[in-house]
């Protein structure tokens, strides 16, 4: 399938360690330093989210919650026109901080059947168990089911093409998934204190992703008129001019509102992946934001910085799913397990109420399970015979 769709047939899908090492060594010292900085900042950010769980004493009961990492995760890294190695940083580092032991990586192969050097470098830094030179739906399948002696994973994370998204949709249940991410989107909310050049630059930065949706919402007539023109001028000057211009033309939107409160209402209704607040009082506006994948505060905080070195993962909910979903964080790589320890005193205090609820739902077996402890000794009249006849048949 890789030969059919990517026109490359790697001699092995699982990249051999020596080849991965050689590819990683090809990363320039400058880029290596930048990646190291990004990984360090992302790690520091997520260390603040580490949660050991909790325990409380409720009179005669002990209640708590355990936090346990997933055993294994497959990180998909988009290739296409450019290898997005930053996406591996933004999924792999939180997974490691959460305590995931096995990390697999899958990414479309280069023309020689290898993987891009920057992706190889990040994979090595993460201590990835295996790297698969495969992209698309077939790579998601390989991560889920395993391949060539490499066991499958518990969860597949990371953005990708429409085929990757559909594969994740179909495999949900076989494995966990982070989200069904669509094309990227940025909403710039700007008032008359914003520099039109900065607003245009932020919109164009997202527009150079294929199918992106750049949106300007402003209460300034000057910005409403000036920013779209500047955006087209900036897009035309990019190496990715065709893609950026198409995104602006097909999905770009400018909305003029009478006052900033209206703009906030538009933002919450749109629920953008990225909400850039180029306003005089970003903290006050942020307090009213309810639906956004991530918030970028103030005139000096461009979303593009968040794509690389700010700290939070840039894998964020799209397509208005920010109404109910969150950016990739430690919870994506963890399970929370509640535990309960009851005492006879607790049963005496709440057991009859539980029995009443069970019988109201028609679940007599539930009621009798509670009664067996509440109204009898440990064995009682209902004790089963020991030995081979304990569970006849």
pLDDT (tens digit per residue) in 285-302: 999 999 999 999 999 999
Is residue 308 a contact partner of residue 87, using CB atoms and an 8 Å limit? no
Q: Measured between alpha carbons, how far is 242 from 237 in angstroms, rounded to an integer? A: 10
Instruction: Sort strands 213-218 and 185-190 into parallel, antiparallel or unpaired.
Output: parallel
Handedness of CA 270, 273, 105, 79 (dihedral sign): positive
Q: List, in order, residues 6 or more apart from 279 with CB less than 8 Å away.
A: 189, 190, 191, 193, 194, 260, 285
**158-191 burial code (b ≥16 CB/10 A, e <16):** bbbbeebbebbeebeeebbbbbbbbbbbbbbbbb
Is residue 293 a contact partner of residue 268, using CB atoms and an 8 Å limit? no
What is the gyration radius of the CA atoms in the chain, in angstroms? 26
Query: What pLDDT was estimated at residue 80?
Result: 66
Is residue 209 a contact partner of residue 307, using CB atoms and an 8 Å limit? no
Handedness of CA 352, 358, 360, 365 (dihedral sign): negative
Is residue 328 a contact partner of residue 178, using CB atoms and an 8 Å limit? yes
Coil/strand/helix, residue 308: coil
| Residue 141, pLDDT above cutoff 90 | yes
Identify which of 170, 150, 168 has the alpha carbon closest to the alpha carbon of residue 158: 168
Q: Measured between alpha carbons, how far is 208 from 244 in angstroms, rounded to an integer? A: 4
Handedness of CA 141, 145, 146, 152 (dihedral sign): positive
- Show the tokens assigned to 334: 């963890």
The residue-averaged pLDDT of 374-387 equals 55
The residue-averaged pLDDT of 81-86 equals 84
The residue-averaged pLDDT of 337-361 equals 94
Strand partners, 272: none
pLDDT (tens digit per residue) in 95-111: 999 999 999 999 999 98
pLDDT (tens digit per residue) in 219-243: 999 999 999 999 999 999 999 999 9
274 is catalytic: yes
| Residue 318, pLDDT above cutoff 90 | yes
Domains of the chain are 2-179+331-336 (3.40.50.1980), 185-318 (3.40.50.1980), 343-379 (no CATH)
Query: What pLDDT was estimated at residue 113?
Result: 86
Q: Measured between alpha carbons, how far is 363 from 279 in angstroms, rounded to an integer? A: 58
Give the phi and the psi of residue 308 in degrees, each rounded to 5: -125, -60
Query: What pLDDT was estimated at residue 390?
Result: 54
The residue-averaged pLDDT of 350-363 equals 96
The residue-averaged pLDDT of 272-276 equals 97
* Percent of the chain surpassing pLDDT 70: 95
This prediction has a pTM of 0.90
Q: Measured between alpha carbons, how far is 181 from 159 in angstroms, rounded to an integer? A: 6
Q: Looking at 213, 273, 303, 371, which residue is catalytic?
A: 273
The DSSP line for 65-117 is EEEEE-SEEEEE---TTS--HHHHHHHHHHHHHHT--EEEEEE---TTSS--H
273 is catalytic: yes
Coil/strand/helix, residue 16: coil
* Percent of the chain surpassing pLDDT 90: 86
Handedness of CA 244, 248, 252, 253 (dihedral sign): positive
pLDDT (tens digit per residue) in 17-59: 999 999 999 999 999 999 999 999 999 999 999 998 999 998 7
Query: What pLDDT was estimated at residue 81?
Result: 66
The residue-averaged pLDDT of 156-169 equals 94
Q: Looking at 213, 274, 303, 371, which residue is catalytic?
A: 274
Split at pLDDT 50, 70, 90, the class of 388 is low
Q: Measured between alpha carbons, how far is 181 from 388 in angstroms, rounded to an integer? A: 54
Query: What pLDDT was estimated at residue 380?
Result: 43
Mean per-residue pLDDT of the chain: 93
Query: What pLDDT was estimated at residue 381?
Result: 47
């Amino acid at each position: 399938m890789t030969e059919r769709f990517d026109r490359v047939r790697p001699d092995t899908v699982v990249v051999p360690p020596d080849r991965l090492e050689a590819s990683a060594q090809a990363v320039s010292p400058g880029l290596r330093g930048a990646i190291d900085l990004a990984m360090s900042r992302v790690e520091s950010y997520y260390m603040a989210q580490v949660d050991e769980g909790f325990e409380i004493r409720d009179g005669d009961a002990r209640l708590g919650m355990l936090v346990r990492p997933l055993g294994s995760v497959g990180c998909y890294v988009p290739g296409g026109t450019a290898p997005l190695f930053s996406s591996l940083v933004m999924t792999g580092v939180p997974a490691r901080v959460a305590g995931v032991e096995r990390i697999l990586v899958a990414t479309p192969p280069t023309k020689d059947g290898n993987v891009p050097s920057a992706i190889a470098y990040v994979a090595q830094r993460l201590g990835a168990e295996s790297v698969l030179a495969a992209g698309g739906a077939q790579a998601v399948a390989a991560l889920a089911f395993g391949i060539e002696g490499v066991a499958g994973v518990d969860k597949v994370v990371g953005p990708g093409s429409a085929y990757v998204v559909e594969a994740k949709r179909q495999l949900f249940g076989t494995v966990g998934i982070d989200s069904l991410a669509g094309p990227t989107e940025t909403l710039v909310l700007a008032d008359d204190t914003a520099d039109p050049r900065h607003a245009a630059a932020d919109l164009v930065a997202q527009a150079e992703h294929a199918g992106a949706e750049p949106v300007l919402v402003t209460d300034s007539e000057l910005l409403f008129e000036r920013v779209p023109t500047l955006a087209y001028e900036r897009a035309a000057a990019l190496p990715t001019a065709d893609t950026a211009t198409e995104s602006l033309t097909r999905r770009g939107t400018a909305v003029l509102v009478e006052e900033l409160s209206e703009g906030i209402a538009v933002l919450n209704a749109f629920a953008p992946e990225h909400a850039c607040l180029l306003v005089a009082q970003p903290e006050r506006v942020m307090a009213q934001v309810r639906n956004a994948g991530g918030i970028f505060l103030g005139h000096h905080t461009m979303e593009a910085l968040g794509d690389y070195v700010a700290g939070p993962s840039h894998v964020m909910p799209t397509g208005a799913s920010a109404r109910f979903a969150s950016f990739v964080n430690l919870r994506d790589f963890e399970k929370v397990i509640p535990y309960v320890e009851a005492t006879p005193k607790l049963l005496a205090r709440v057991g009859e109420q539980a029995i009443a609820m069970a019988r109201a739902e028609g679940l007599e077996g539930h009621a009798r399970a509670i009664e067996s402890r509440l109204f009898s000794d440990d064995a009682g009249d209902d004790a089963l015979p020991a030995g081979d006849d304990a569970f006849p048949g």
